[in-house]
C-alpha cells in the first residue's frame, strides 16, 4: 500500500489516481483505507436483487437516488422481444430489477427502451459516466469507465448494497502502475490487440492490487471507443481499475450527451477535467513499457486472457515451460481447447463468431467488422455468426449507416442489444466443443457455454475469421 | 454477518492456479435472486459430468469421481488450499456465497484477485495470503489423510497439525468486522453527517455532479 508522507503530499507531483482518490475521500480510516464517495452507481439485474433485499430487510433507502442508473443486460434475449423473456428464471431476475427500481425510485432503462443496452456501453453513451467521477457497478468490467479519467471499479453485491445505502464505499488505496505504449501502432492494429498484448506481457495477475494508468502515444491516439476497450480489459490483467488521462478526445465525446453538464456547469467541469492527468514526474509503484510497433493482431489460444499469441504465431508448447504449475495449466488449457501444441494459429478452424460484449460492441467496432465483411459471405463451416450491438442506440446508428445490411448479406445474424454470448446467461451459447472467434473479454472454461472454446480477438479479426472459416492475419 | 474467530477444519487442496469465478460458480446459477443455496453448484463444471441448472436437482446428476471435491476423504472440508490468483474474473459475490454455503470458512492462497478478496470479508469468509513456499509446504502436508489446519484470526496464524505456525496479515478494520461480525453499512451510516458535509462541499466545487 502507498501512503503519502504527511505534509509532502501537496507539493509533490501526483498521479491521476492520486487526484481522483483525494477528491473523493469522505473520511480517512487509517492504514491507507478511506470512506470514498461514489458519484455514479450503475445497476444491473444479476448482482443487485440480494442488495435490494438487504435494504428492505434493514428498512434502509437509497442515499441519493439520482446517482443510480439501472438496466437489464445479462439475461435479455437478443432475438424478438415482443413476447418478453421465455426462460422463466431469467424473466424473474429481470422482473425483480424492474420492481426494485419501481419500489425505490431508481431510473431504469427497460427492455423496450431504445436506450437499453450493456451497462458499460450505456453509461458513457448517456454521459452518465463523466471524467473525474467515481463509478461503481456490481460488475468487474466497470473498469471500462476509467477511459474517461474516472475512477471506476467493479464491486460485489454487499458493496452494491453499501453504495446504495450510503453513497460511499470503504476502500483501501491501491498501488499504482503505469503501462506506457510508446509510439504508433501499425495499420490494422486495434485497441483490442493493444490490451491483449499488454495482458500477454504482464499476465492475468500482473495488475493485482493496482490501478493501471494506460499512457503513451498509442493510447492517446485511440478514440473513446478504443480507450474503453483497453480499460474494459484492465480487470483481465488483475487490476482494480484502469484509467486514461482526460484530453480533448474525452471532452469532445462527452459534450452534448443527455446526462452531461450544460451551460455554466459545463464550463466549470471542463476546467477541472483538464487537470485530470498524471503530473510530470509523478511516481508510480511500477512501470511497464511496450513498443506499439511490436504489436500484431492477437488471438488467445487458451483459457485465460494471458494465453495469447500473435496471429502469425503458433499454439505454444507446454514442454518448453519450466514452471510446473504453469506447465500443468497450459496442458489443461490445450486439452480443454482441443488444440495441439505448435499448430499455426491461422490453421485453427472455427464454428461460431460472436461480435459484441462491453469490450467491442460500440459503433466503431461494428464499422471495423463491417468493413472486413463488406460484400463477402461467411464460410460454410461457420454455423453461426452473430453481431450484437451494445445498445439500442448503437444498433440504430449502425442501421442508419447500413451496417446491418452488410452483416445480413454476408450471412451474419443481426441481434438486439445485450451481453448475449459473452457469457450466455440468455439463450445465446456455445455447445460443448464448439470453437468461437469472440470479441468479448473472457476465454475461461465454460464462459460462453459449457465445454465451449473461446478465442478472443478484435472485431476485424473476428469478421475476417467468419469469412475465412479460420483465423487469418488481417494485415495480409 | 457471521463472526470468524478460530476454525479448525479438514483441508482440501485444489492444485490449480487462476481458479476463476466462472469455475467457482457458473453463470446459470447467477439467475437466482437469493443469497443462499449455491453450495451444491460450487465448482459445478469440474464437479459433475453432466450439465446442471437451477431447476435441475443436483442429487440426480453424475458427479465426476476424479475431481478432488468428490473424493470421500475430503467430505466436510472447511479449509480450502489454493494456488495463485484465486477468484479472478467476475465480481460475482455468488462465488463467495457458494464456497460458504458448501461449508468452507476460509481459503488460503499465495494471491487473490482483488474483487473476490474484498467480497470475501463481507460474508464472514476469510481469504488468507501466505508466502509461496509456505503454500508449497502445505500442499505437500495436505496429502496426508484427515489433514486439518487451524486458522486463528485474532492471532493471525495458520497452524499445522505438526505444530508449525504461519503468520498472515490482515487489515485491522476488516479483522475487527470479522471477529465481531459487524454490519459495515450500519457502521458507515453512523457517519452520515460526515457524508452530508462532504456532499455540501463537493456541491460547491463540482455542482454538475449534483445537477
Ligand atoms: S458484456 Fe460480458 S463482460 Fe460485459 S457486462 Fe455483459 S457479461 Fe459482463
Contacts of B113 in chain A (CB under 8 A): 205, 208, 238
CB contact under 8 A, B30 and A425: yes
Q: Give the ipTM of the model, two decimals please.
A: 0.93
Measured from the Cα of A357, ligand 1's closest atom is 1
| Angle between helical axes of A224-232 and A363-373 (0-180°, round to 10) | 100
The radius of gyration computed from the CA coordinates of chain B, to the nearest angstrom, equals: 20
Kindly report the three-state secondary structure assignment for every residue of chain A: CCCCCCCCCCCCCCCHHHHHHHHHEEEEEECCEEEEECCEEEECCCCCHHHHHHHHHCCCCCCCHHHEEEECCCCCCCCCCCCCCCCHHHHHHHHHHHHHHHHHCCCEECCCCCCCECHHHHHHHHCCCCCCCEEEECCHHHHHHHHHCCEEEECCHHHHHHHHHHCEEEEECCEEEEEEEECCCCCCCCHHHHHHHHHHHHCCCCCECEEEEEECHHHHCCCHHHHHHHHHHHHHHCECEEECCCCHHHHHHHCCCCCCCCHHHHHHHHHHHCCCCCCCCCCCCEEEEEEHHHCCCEEECCCCCCCEEECCCECCCHHHCCCHHHHHHHHHHHHHHCCCCCCEHHHCECCEEEECCCCCCCHHHHHHHHHHHCCCCCCCCCCEEEECCCEHHHHHHHHHCCHHHHHHHHCCEECCCCCHHHCCCCCCCCCCCCEEEECCCCCCCCCCCCCCEEEECCHHHHHHHHHHCECCCCCC
User: For residue A141, how far is its CA from the centre of ligand 1 (angstroms)?
Assistant: 7
* Grid cell listed for A106: 431508481
Mutate to test the pocket of ligand 1, among A42, A45, A73 (most ligand atoms within 8 A of CB): A73
* Each residue's pLDDT tens digit, A184-210: 999 999 999 999 999 999 999 999 999
Closest Cβ–Cβ partner in B16, B31, B115 for A75: B31
Kindly report the three-state secondary structure assignment for every residue of chain B: CCCCCEEEEEEEECCCCCCEHHHHCCHHHHHCCCCCCCHHHCCHHHHECCCCCCCCCHHHCCECCCCHHHCHHHCCCCEEECCCCECECCCCCHHHHHHHHHCCCEEEECCECHHHHHHHHCCCCEEEECCHHHHHHHHHHCCCCCCEEEEECCCCEEECCCCCEEECCCCHHHHHHHHHCCCHHHHHHCCHHHHHHHHHHHHHHCHHHHC
* Grid cell listed for A95: 422482473
Measured from the Cα of A422, ligand 1's closest atom is 2
By CB atoms closer than 10 A (0-12, 13-18, 19+), residue A2 is middle
Residue A31 has a pLDDT of: 82
In short, whether A235's Cβ falls inside 6 Å of ligand 1 is: no
Residues of chain B predicted below pLDDT 70: none
User: For residue A120, how far is its CA from the centre of ligand 1 (angstroms)?
Assistant: 8
pLDDT-derived band at A11 (thresholds 50, 70, 90) equals confident
Is the confidence at residue A449, as pLDDT, over 90? yes
CB atoms within 10 A of CB B30: 25
> Residue A143, Cα to own-chain centre: how many angstroms?
7
Mean pLDDT of chain B: 96
Residue in chain B closest to A272 (alpha carbons) equals B206
User: For residue A356, how far is its CA from the centre of ligand 1 (angstroms)?
Assistant: 9
CB contact under 8 A, A168 and B93: no
> A269-305 as b/e, with b when 16 or more CB fall inside 10 Å?
beebbeebbbeeebebeeebebebeebbbbbbbbbbb
Mean pLDDT of chain A: 95
Q: Which of B54, B66, B140, B134 is nearest to B98 (CA)?
A: B54
* Least confident window among A55-69, A81-95, A240-254: A81-95
Mean pLDDT across the stretch A379-393?
98
Q: Which of A255, A257, A259, A207 is nearest to A233 (CA)?
A: A207
* Each residue's pLDDT tens digit, A262-275: 999 999 999 999 99
Mean pLDDT across the stretch A393-400?
98
**What whole-number distance in Å separates Cα of residue A445 and Cα of residue A442?**
9
In short, whether A419's Cβ falls inside 6 Å of ligand 1 is: yes
Contacts of B22 in chain A (CB under 8 A): 423, 442, 444-447
Residue A229 has a pLDDT of: 98
Backbone angles phi, psi at A386, to 5 degrees: -130, 145
pLDDT-derived band at A427 (thresholds 50, 70, 90) equals confident
User: What's the number of CA atoms in the CB half-sphere (13 Å) around residue B185?
Assistant: 24
Whole-number percent of chain A with pLDDT over 70 = 98
Mean pLDDT across the stretch A421-427?
90
pLDDT-derived band at A121 (thresholds 50, 70, 90) equals very high
In short, whether A423's Cβ falls inside 6 Å of ligand 1 is: yes
By CB atoms closer than 10 A (0-12, 13-18, 19+), residue A92 is middle
Contacts of A168 in chain B (CB under 8 A): 188, 195
For the whole model, what pTM was predicted? Answer: 0.94
pLDDT-derived band at A10 (thresholds 50, 70, 90) equals low
CB contact under 8 A, A37 and B96: no
Q: Which of B91, B122, B88, B20 is nearest to A139 (CA)?
A: B91
Residue B205 has a pLDDT of: 95
CB contact under 8 A, B188 and A168: yes
Is the confidence at residue A6, as pLDDT, over 80? no
Which site among B27, B96, B187, B200 would you substitute to test the A interface, given the most A Cβ atoms closer than 10 Å to its Cβ? B27
Residue in chain A closest to B86 (alpha carbons) equals A205
pLDDT-derived band at A82 (thresholds 50, 70, 90) equals confident
* Each residue's pLDDT tens digit, A291-329: 999 999 999 999 999 999 999 999 999 999 999 889 999
Mean pLDDT across the stretch A32-54?
96
Which site among A48, A59, A158 would you substitute to test the B interface, given the most B Cβ atoms closer than 10 Å to its Cβ? A158
Measured from the Cα of A361, ligand 1's closest atom is 1
Task: Pick the residue whose CA is nearest to atom 6 on ligand 1.
Answer: A419
Residue in chain A closest to B51 (alpha carbons) equals A450
* Cβ-contact B69, B52 below 8 angstroms: no
Residue A37 has a pLDDT of: 98
Residue B23 has a pLDDT of: 95
Mutate to test the pocket of ligand 1, among A76, A120, A137 (most ligand atoms within 8 A of CB): A120
Backbone angles phi, psi at B131, to 5 degrees: -70, 155
Strand order in the sheet with A40-43: A108-109, A68-71, A40-43, A134-137, A151-154
* Each residue's pLDDT tens digit, B163-182: 999 999 999 989 999 999 99
Residue in chain A closest to B195 (alpha carbons) equals A26
User: For residue A329, how far is its CA from the centre of ligand 1 (angstroms)?
Assistant: 25
**What whole-number distance in Å separates Cα of residue A295 and Cα of residue A280?**
27
Amino acid at each position: 500500500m502507498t501512503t503519502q508522507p504527511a505534509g509532502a503530499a501537496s507539493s509533490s507531483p501526483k498521479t491521476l489516481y492520486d487526484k481522483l482518490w483525494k477528491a473523493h475521500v469522505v473520511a480517512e480510516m487509517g492504514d491507507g483505507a478511506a470512506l470514498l464517495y461514489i458519484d455514479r452507481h450503475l445497476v444491473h439485474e444479476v448482482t443487485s436483487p440480494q442488495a435490494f433485499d438487504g435494504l428492505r430487510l434493514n428498512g434502509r433507502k437509497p442515499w441519493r437516488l439520482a446517482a443510480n442508473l439501472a438496466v437489464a443486460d445479462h439475461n435479455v434475449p437478443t432475438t424478438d422481444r415482443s413476447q418478453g423473456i421465455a426462460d422463466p428464471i431469467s424473466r424473474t431476475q429481470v422482473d425483480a430489477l424492474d420492481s426494485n427500481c419501481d419500489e425505490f425510485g431508481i431510473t431504469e432503462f427497460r427492455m423496450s427502451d431504445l436506450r437499453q443496452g450493456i451497462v458499460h456501453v450505456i453509461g458513457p453513451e448517456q454521459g452518465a459516466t463523466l471524467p473525474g467521477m467515481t463509478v461503481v457497478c456490481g460488475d468487474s468490467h466497470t473498469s471500462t469507465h476509467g477511459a474517461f479519467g474516472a475512477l471506476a471499479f467493479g464491486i460485489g453485491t454487499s458493496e452494491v448494497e453499501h453504495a446504495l445505502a450510503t453513497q460511499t464505499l470503504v476502500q483501501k488505496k491501491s498501488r499504482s502502475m503505469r503501462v506506457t505504449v510508446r509510439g504508433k501502432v501499425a495499420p490494422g492494429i486495434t485497441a483490442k490487440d493493444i490490451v491483449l498484448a499488454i495482458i500477454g506481457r504482464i499476465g492475468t495477475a500482473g495488475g493485482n492490487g493496482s490501478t493501471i494508468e494506460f499512457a503513451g502515444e498509442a493510447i492517446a491516439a485511440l478514440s473513446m471507443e478504443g480507450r474503453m476497450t483497453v480499460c474494459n480489459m484492465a480487470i483481465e490483467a488483475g487490476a482494480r481499475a484502469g484509467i486514461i488521462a482526460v484530453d480533448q478526445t474525452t471532452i469532445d465525446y462527452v459534450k452534448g450527451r443527455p446526462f452531461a453538464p450544460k451551460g455554466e456547469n459545463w464550463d466549470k467541469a471542463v476546467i477541472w477535467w483538464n487537470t485530470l492527468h498524471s503530473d510530470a514526474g509523478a511516481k508510480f509503484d511500477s512501470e511497464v513499457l511496450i513498443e506499439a510497433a511490436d504489436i500484431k493482431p492477437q488471438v488467445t489460444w487458451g483459457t485465460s486472457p494471458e494465453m495469447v499469441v500473435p496471429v502469425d504465431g503458433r499454439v505454444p508448447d507446454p514442454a518448453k515451460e519450466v514452471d510446473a504449475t504453469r506447465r500443468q495449466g497450459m496442458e489443461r488449457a490445450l486439452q480443454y481447447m482441443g488444440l495441439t501444441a505448435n499448430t499455426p494459429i491461422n490453421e485453427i478452424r472455427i464454428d461460431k463468431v460472436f461480435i459484441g460484449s462491453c469490450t467491442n460492441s460500440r459503433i466503431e467496432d461494428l464499422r471495423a467488422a463491417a468493413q472486413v465483411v463488406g460484400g463477402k459471405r461467411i464460410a460454410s463451416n461457420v454455423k453461426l455468426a452473430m453481431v450484437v450491438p451494445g445498445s439500442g442506440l448503437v444498433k440504430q446508428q449502425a442501421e442508419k449507416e447500413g451496417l446491418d445490411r452488410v452483416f445480413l448479406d454476408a450471412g451474419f445474424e443481426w441481434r438486439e442489444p445485450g451481453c448475449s454470448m459473452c457469457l450466455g446467461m440468455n439463450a445465446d451459447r456455445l455447445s460443448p466443443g464448439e470453437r468461437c472467434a469472440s470479441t468479448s473479454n473472457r476465454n475461461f472454461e465454460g464462459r460462453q457455454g459449457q465445454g465451449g472454446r473461446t478465442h478472443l480477438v478484435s472485431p476485424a479479426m473476428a469478421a475476417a475469421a467468419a469469412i475465412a472459416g479460420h483465423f487469418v492475419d488481417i494485415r495480409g | 454477518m457471521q463472526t470468524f474467530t478460530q476454525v479448525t477444519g479438514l483441508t482440501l487442496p485444489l492444485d490449480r492456479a487462476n481458479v476463476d469465478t466462472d469455475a467457482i460458480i457458473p453463470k446459470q446459477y447467477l439467475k437466482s435472486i437469493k443469497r443462499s443455496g449455491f453450495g451444491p453448484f460450487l465448482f459445478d463444471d469440474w464437479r459433475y459430468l453432466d450439465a446442471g441448472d437451477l431447476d435441475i436437482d443436483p442429487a440426480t446428476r453424475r458427479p465426476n469421481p476424479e475431481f478432488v471435491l468428490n473424493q470421500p476423504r475430503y467430505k466436510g472440508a472447511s479449509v480450502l488450499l489454493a494456488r495463485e490468483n484465486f477468484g479472478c474474473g467476475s465480481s460475482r459475490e455468488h462465488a463467495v456465497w457458494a464456497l460458504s454455503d458448501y461449508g468452507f470458512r476460509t481459503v488460503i492462497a499465495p494471491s487473490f484477485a482483488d474483487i473476490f478478496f474484498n467480497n470475501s470479508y463481507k460474508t464472514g469468509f476469510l481469504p488468507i495470503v501466505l508466502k509461496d513456499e509456505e503454500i508449497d509446504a502445505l500442499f505437500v502436508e495436505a496429502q496426508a489423510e484427515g489433514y486439518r489446519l487451524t486458522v486463528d484470526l485474532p492471532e493471525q496464524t495458520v497452524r499445522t497439525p505438526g505444530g508449525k505456525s504461519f503468520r498472515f496479515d490482515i487489515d485491522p478494520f476488516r479483522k475487527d468486522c470479522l471477529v465481531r461480525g459487524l454490519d459495515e453499512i450500519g457502521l458507515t451510516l453512523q457517519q452520515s453527517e460526515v457524508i452530508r458535509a462532504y456532499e455540501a462541499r463537493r456541491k460547491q466545487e463540482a455542482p454538475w455532479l449534483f445537477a
